[in-house]
């Protein structure tokens, strides 16, 4: 069974799932070099088919998903068309489609578009700014001629969901695992690709998030919370509680959170940008104190409406602005990019981070309450959606929450949705068994590169090359001698974190490497760096977070003062534990420990400011020639500038 997964929204990606195993994955931004790129082209589809050793003729089904409101820009893909009609071979229960047919409602009337209206108008709102950033091609496209299919966000609902309630009320309810909901978040369609008619399935955005995380977690049963930056806490469009048992996956309830958009809007309000701001806000929070935090704001959207008469985001921003005016802050520094760590910005960041954590913890507790009330025992929790990239929050959920085990997938952002849509179809809808990953799901799903790619790169970029007998030892010696190196091997990582296949590495014991590498990457000087540590030694150097922590998604407290380059101002670090499954970077750390006695190095993403992580050998070598990095290793070869 070969399933092509397509995600058309921002962080667009294509993937192949073959008998439950991911055999191809391409993230659009790595191809067109636009961070968080929206929309797919034929290049991504051909790429995953080639990587999986397949052709269009081999495909059994296509699973399709998108970001909320983002239509499917099918006109960008040669040979593709989609009919909103089930394929003749479709045989899976589909609660939503059956209900629509029974009530004579047209599914076509429910389809939405947001990207085309943005470029046809002159809207300057937040979403418009984001679309223009992630889809710059939209400025030159002839929208009258580009084919597209509207996206479907709304599927089935439940009587208990029609009246949104606050988190304490949710915690008092009982989870109900209903089959009509399990089969209610997809729509059968027909995909036309290169003259073939293939069974296709639209899959709800958050069902894809839930599937991607749960089916790769290794848990046989798990509670699931998905949430992202969607602009509303109404309904389930911003995420929901779910429950997985074996191959079955049930939506349990919307949680009505909107802390993803709150975090984004606060980041934008203090000058961190409309795109990429949340990641910066997380780092900035450690420079401040949460003195503005007020537990009245610990609520979901129905709770905020009842308390403040408006959305949580509007209420919180108004409160923060009033508090800083009355708090004696230097308001001239507010939103000033050159004074970002000033108390007025840092305290807002710290207070927002604290609020985010408290609301997330309350939501996790509500989910646990719903399961307990229904006598559904569960020790495991999966977190997905963009908000699961928040490391301090994940760490508190693991330490203080009611679940013994917490799993956060490496591609919890929208980049994992093509995989999730395919897994939802294969496991939940087709009832195919789940094979647990061992020891955990590999994040290295990107395409490999052949010798010809390296030869082409060297012809395009004039650099010196050597072939060390022991590349890992040579890299470790470079690090021990305080050189900053790029490390490139195998397939690239899924998700936004560099995990040793497309990484910049440096000596973590040198305090000056913090500003040095920020300058090299042209980042803000205050932004922190993360460590990679040998898994077997992690407990000797870090504490206070789950170990192993292979995806850089939890914060740990740094023991001692020997690692100043990766120790944030609050004494924490976002660690990646490294074992043999990580590839040759494991040998680099092992050799480095032998040379220095230290099993930790600085690990940051291999990219420049505002750029996606490098994907190809040519991009890695170009980075070498355009920056002050000392050396770049590509699959065992060492490159330096002439």
CA 189 to chain centre: 27
Q: What is residue 195's predicted lDDT score, i.e. its pLDDT?
A: 96
Q: What is residue 384's predicted lDDT score, i.e. its pLDDT?
A: 98
Q: Give pLDDT tens digits for 252-284.
A: 999 999 999 999 999 999 999 989 999 999 999
Domain membership of residue 359 (yes or no) is no
Same domain, 240 and 295: no
Q: What are phi and psi of 545, to 5 degrees?
A: -145, 160
For residue 525, what is the domain's CATH number? Answer: 3.90.870.20
* Per-chain mean pLDDT for the chain: 96
Same domain, 238 and 165: yes
Domain membership of residue 354 (yes or no) is no
Same domain, 378 and 339: no
Q: How many CB atoms lie within 10 A of CB 453?
A: 15
Q: What is residue 291's predicted lDDT score, i.e. its pLDDT?
A: 98
Domain membership of residue 446 (yes or no) is no
Domain membership of residue 60 (yes or no) is yes
Which of helix, strand or coil describes residue 192?
A: strand
Domain membership of residue 249 (yes or no) is yes
Q: What is residue 551's predicted lDDT score, i.e. its pLDDT?
A: 98
Q: Give pLDDT tens digits for 376-390.
A: 999 999 999 999 999
Helix pair angle (471-480, 584-596), 10° resolution? 50
Q: How far apart are CA 313 and CA 240, in angstroms?
A: 19
Q: Give pLDDT tens digits for 156-174.
A: 999 999 999 999 999 999 9
CA distance from start to end of the chain: 50
Same domain, 194 and 253: yes
Same domain, 19 and 154: yes
The last residue of one of the domains, among 296, 317, 349, is: 349
Q: How many CB atoms lie within 10 A of CB 626?
A: 11
Count the domains in the chain: 3
Same domain, 331 and 380: no
From the list 15, 31, 112, 28, the residue with the least C-alpha distance to 64 is 15
Q: What is residue 450's predicted lDDT score, i.e. its pLDDT?
A: 87
Confidence of residue 131 (pLDDT cuts 50, 70, 90): very high
Same domain, 302 and 336: yes
The last residue of one of the domains, among 297, 323, 349, is: 349
Same domain, 63 and 206: yes
Confidence of residue 125 (pLDDT cuts 50, 70, 90): confident
Q: Cα–Cα distances in Å, from 288 out to 114, 282, 353, 387, 513?
A: 37, 11, 10, 21, 23
Confidence of residue 230 (pLDDT cuts 50, 70, 90): confident
Same domain, 244 and 265: no
Domain membership of residue 436 (yes or no) is no
Confidence of residue 104 (pLDDT cuts 50, 70, 90): confident
DSSP, residue by residue, 87-120 = -TT--S--HHHHHHHHTT--GGGG-B-SHHHHHH
Give the domain range for residue 592.
451-640
- Counting every residue written for the chain, the total comes to 642
Whether residue 441 contacts residue 488, with contact meaning beta carbons closer than 8 Å, is answered with no
DSSP collapsed to 3 states, 576-640:
EEECHHHCHHHHHHHHHHHHHCCCEEEEEECCCCCCCCCCCHHHHHHHHHHCCCCEEEECCEEEE
Tell me the percentage of the chain whose pLDDT exceeds 70. Answer: 100
**Average pLDDT value for residue range 89-102:** 92
Q: What is residue 232's predicted lDDT score, i.e. its pLDDT?
A: 77
Domain membership of residue 434 (yes or no) is no
Same domain, 389 and 412: yes
Confidence of residue 101 (pLDDT cuts 50, 70, 90): confident
Q: How far apart are CA 536 and CA 514, in angstroms?
A: 25
Same domain, 73 and 222: yes
pLDDT at 466 over 80: yes
Sequence-ordered list of residues with C-beta below 8 angstroms from that of 602, at least 6 positions apart, any chain: 504, 505, 506, 507, 508, 513, 517, 529, 530, 531, 532, 565, 566
pLDDT at 439 over 80: no
Q: Give pLDDT tens digits for 345-374.
A: 999 999 999 999 999 999 999 999 999 999
Domain membership of residue 357 (yes or no) is no
Same domain, 385 and 466: no
């Amino acid at each position: 069974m070969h399933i092509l997964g397509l995600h058309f929204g921002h962080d667009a990606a294509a993937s192949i799932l073959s008998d439950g195993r991911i055999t191809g994955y391409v993230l659009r931004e790595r191809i067109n070099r636009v961070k968080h790129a929206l929309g797919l082209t034929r290049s991504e589809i051909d790429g995953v088919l080639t990587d999986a050793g397949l052709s269009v003729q081999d495909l059994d089904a296509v699973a399709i998903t998108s970001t909320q409101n983002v239509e499917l820009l099918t006109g960008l893909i040669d040979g593709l068309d989609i009919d909103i009609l089930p394929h003749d071979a479709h045989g899976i229960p589909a609660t939503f489609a059956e209900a629509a047919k029974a009530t004579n409602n047209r599914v076509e009337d429910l389809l939405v578009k947001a990207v085309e209206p943005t470029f046809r108008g002159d809207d300057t709102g937040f979403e418009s700014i984001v679309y223009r950033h992630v889809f710059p091609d939209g400025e030159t496209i002839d929208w009258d001629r580009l084919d597209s299919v509207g996206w479907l966000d709304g599927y089935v609902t439940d009587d208990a969901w029609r009246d949104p309630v606050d988190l304490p009320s949710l915690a008092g309810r009982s989870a109900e695992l209903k089959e009509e909901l399990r089969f209610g978040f997809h729509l059968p369609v027909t995909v036309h690709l290169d003259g073939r008619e293939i069974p296709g399935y639209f899959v709800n955005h958050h069902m894809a998030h839930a599937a991607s995380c749960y089916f790769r977690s290794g848990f046989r049963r798990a509670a699931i919370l998905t949430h992202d930056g969607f602009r509303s806490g109404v309904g389930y469009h911003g995420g929901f509680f779910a429950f997985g048992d074996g191959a079955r996956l049930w939506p349990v309830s919307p949680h009505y959170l909107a802390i993803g958009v709150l975090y984004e809007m606060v980041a934008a309000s203090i000058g961190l940008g409309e795109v990429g701001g949340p990641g910066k806000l997380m780092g900035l929070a450690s420079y401040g104190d949460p003195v503005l935090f007020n537990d009245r704001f610990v609520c979901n959207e129905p709770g905020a409406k009842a308390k403040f008469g408006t959305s949580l985001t509007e209420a919180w921003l108004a409160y923060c602005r009033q508090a800083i005016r009355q708090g004696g802050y230097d308001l001239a520094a507010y939103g000033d990019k050159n004074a970002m760590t000033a108390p007025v910005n840092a305290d807002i960041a710290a207070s927002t981070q604290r609020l985010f954590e408290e609301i997330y913890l309350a939501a996790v507790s509500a989910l646990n309450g719903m399961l307990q009330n229904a006598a559904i025992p569960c020790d495991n929790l999966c977190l997905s959606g963009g908000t699961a990239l928040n490391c301090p929050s994940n760490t508190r959920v693991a330490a203080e929450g009611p679940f013994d085990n917490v799993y956060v997938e490496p591609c919890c952002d929208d980049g994992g949705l093509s995989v999730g849509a395919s897994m939802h179809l294969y496991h939940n809808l087709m009832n195919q068994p789940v094979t647990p990953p061992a020891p955990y799901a590999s994040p290295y799903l990107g395409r490999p590169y052949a010798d010809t790619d390296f030869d082409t790169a060297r012809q395009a970029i004039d650099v010196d090359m050597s072939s060390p007998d022991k590349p890992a030892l040579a890299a470790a010696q470079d690090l021990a001698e305080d050189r900053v190196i790029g490390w490139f091997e195998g397939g690239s990582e899924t998700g936004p974190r560099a995990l040793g296949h497309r990484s910049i590495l440096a000596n973590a014991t040198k305090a000056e490497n913090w500003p040095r590498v920020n300058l090299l990457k042209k980042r803000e000087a205050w932004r922190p760096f993360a460590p990679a540590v040998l898994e077997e030694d992690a407990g000797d150097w870090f504490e206070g977070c789950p170990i192993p922590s292979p995806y850089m998604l939890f914060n740990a407290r740094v023991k001692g003062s020997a690692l100043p380059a990766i120790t944030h101002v609050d004494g924490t670090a976002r660690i990646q534990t490294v074992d043999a499954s990580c590839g040759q970077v494991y040998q680099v750390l092992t050799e480095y420990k032998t040379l220095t006695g230290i099993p930790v190095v600085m690990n940051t993403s291999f990219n420049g400011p505002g750029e996606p992580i490098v994907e190809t050998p040519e991009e890695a070598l170009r980075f070498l020639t355009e920056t002050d990095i000392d050396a770049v290793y590509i699959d065992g070869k060492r490159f330096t500038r002439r």
